[in-house]
Structure 1
Amino acid sequence: MSQTYLTTQELSDRIHYDTRTIRERLKDTVLFEGVHYFRPFGGRKILYIWETIEADMQKDSSTASIIAGLN
């Protein structure tokens, strides 16, 4: 399976969240190291795994719409 690695700016462009929001509010609360992102070669740079983030966004969205439909 091929994976797409994105910088914070590239992820920001795809999900339409500010890079600061990604770094300060999403990282380590909904985006977890080892699942949604990693630090190549043990460095400071962060690369996000697009396919994992996309799947989790859709999963949460479909669950929310099911719950909303029950009300």
Structure 2
Amino acid sequence: MQTTYLTTEALSERIHYDVRTIRDRLKDSVLIEGVHYIRPFGGRKILYLWEPIERDMRIGKRTPTDAAIPMASGALCHG
């Protein structure tokens, strides 16, 4: 599978979101490190992975536990 690496500015152009919105509101809330972006060589620079971002924008990122309610016992209640 081919991977397309994008800077924040290039991602901004593709998804039509402001660079600040990506950095301040999307990164680490809907864009997850290791899934949607990486820090090459452990540095500060961030490269976004286009294919997982595009996939999750189209289908929405939901896991079975997203709809679950955590219980005090640690179990999950699926409502």
Question: TM-score higher than 0.5 here?
Answer: yes
Which TM-score applies when normalising by structure 2?
0.75
> What is the root-mean-square deviation of aligned Cα atoms in Å?
0.4
Aligned length: 60
Structure with bigger gyration radius: 2
Higher helix proportion (structure 1 or 2): 1
Gaps of 5+ in 1: 61-71
Higher strand proportion (structure 1 or 2): 2
Q: What's 1:49 paired with?
A: 49
Gaps of 5+ in 2: 61-79
Secondary structure of the structure 2 residue equivalent to 1:11: helix
* Identical-residue share of aligned pairs (%): 73
Moved over 2 A (4+): none
Higher relative contact order (CA 8 A, sep 6+): 1
Which TM-score applies when normalising by structure 1?
0.83
